[in-house]
């Protein structure tokens, strides 16, 4: 019987087999909700301090506008690009990746945050516009008093922004719950998925072995 096996020349490796991969495990509603709640808790001291200032210093929303934007970009863009998720996601054990499983870059991180960023900036501008119509003599106020006083002073264009925020929030939830990869609207915009950290390493292709030349 003739042996048809072809032996590669000395010093050359045999062709590598197709790398075996294990599918990524997509994070569903509950892990993502847990991560969101953790992020809220972690940011609560800063948010609480800001709101205390808002009720005591009339122009603080104006002074805090730029730092607020920078904190949001740091938390939701830089940390996502650098570590693959916000602190809440890292603690829960989920990561943000591109659809093909590779790490996200600044483009993907910013696109995921873009709708929230735009709506947040518009909301801040409306709030600043309202407090500028008040006087220092009205301060300090309680949180409830400030809210009651500010709402009638909001610009007319704030109402559509508020409706858009609500529509966006419910749209995010509905889309997240109704697709196999559990992608929210911002994931479709950015081309990302949220996966369990344990599945990232196991889904990485195995590197082909190299044979040293003789």
Q: What residue segments make up the domains of the chain, in order of their start? A: 29-202
Q: How far apart are the C-alpha atoms of 187 and 189, rounded to whole Å?
A: 5
Structure-block tokens of residue 45: 């001291």
- Average pLDDT estimate for 88-108: 96
Mean pLDDT of the region 124-128: 96
pLDDT tens column, 156-167 = 999 999 999 999
Distance, CA of 111 to CA of 93 (rounded, Å): 22
Distance CA 164, CA 168 (A): 6
* pTM of the predicted structure, to 2 decimals: 0.81
pLDDT per position as a tens digit, 67-79 = 999 999 999 999 9
Residue 82: its pLDDT value, please?
Answer: 97
pLDDT cut 90: percent of the chain above it: 81
For residue 61, what pLDDT is reported? 94
**Mean pLDDT across 60-70:** 94
pLDDT at 98 over 70: yes
Of 107, 52, 94, residue with least CA distance to 199: 94
What is the average per-residue pLDDT within 76-94? 97
């Amino acid at each position: 019987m003739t042996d048809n096996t072809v032996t590669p020349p000395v010093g050359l490796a045999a062709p590598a087999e197709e790398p075996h991969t294990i599918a990524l495990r997509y994070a569903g509603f509950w892990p993502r909700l847990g991560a969101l709640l953790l992020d809220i808790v972690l940011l609560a001291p800063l948010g609480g301090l800001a709101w205390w200032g808002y009720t005591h210093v009339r122009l603080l929303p104006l002074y805090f506008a730029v730092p607020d934007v920078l904190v949001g970009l740091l938390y939701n863009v830089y940390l996502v690009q650098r570590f693959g998720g916000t602190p809440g996601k890292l603690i829960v054990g989920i990561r943000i990746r591109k659809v093909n499983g590779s790490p996200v870059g600044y483009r993907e991180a910013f696109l995921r945050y873009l709708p929230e960023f735009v709506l947040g900036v518009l909301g801040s501008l409306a709030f600043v516009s309202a407090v500028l119509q008040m006087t220092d003599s009205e301060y300090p106020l309680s949180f409830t008093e400030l809210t009651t006083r500010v709402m009638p002073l909001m610009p007319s264009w704030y109402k559509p922004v508020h409706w858009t925020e609500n529509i966006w929030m419910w749209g995010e939830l509905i889309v997240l719950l109704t697709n196999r990869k559990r992608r929210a609207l911002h994931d479709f915009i950015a081309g990302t998925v949220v996966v369990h950290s344990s599945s990232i390493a196991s889904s990485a292709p195995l590197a082909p072995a190299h044979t040293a030349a003789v």
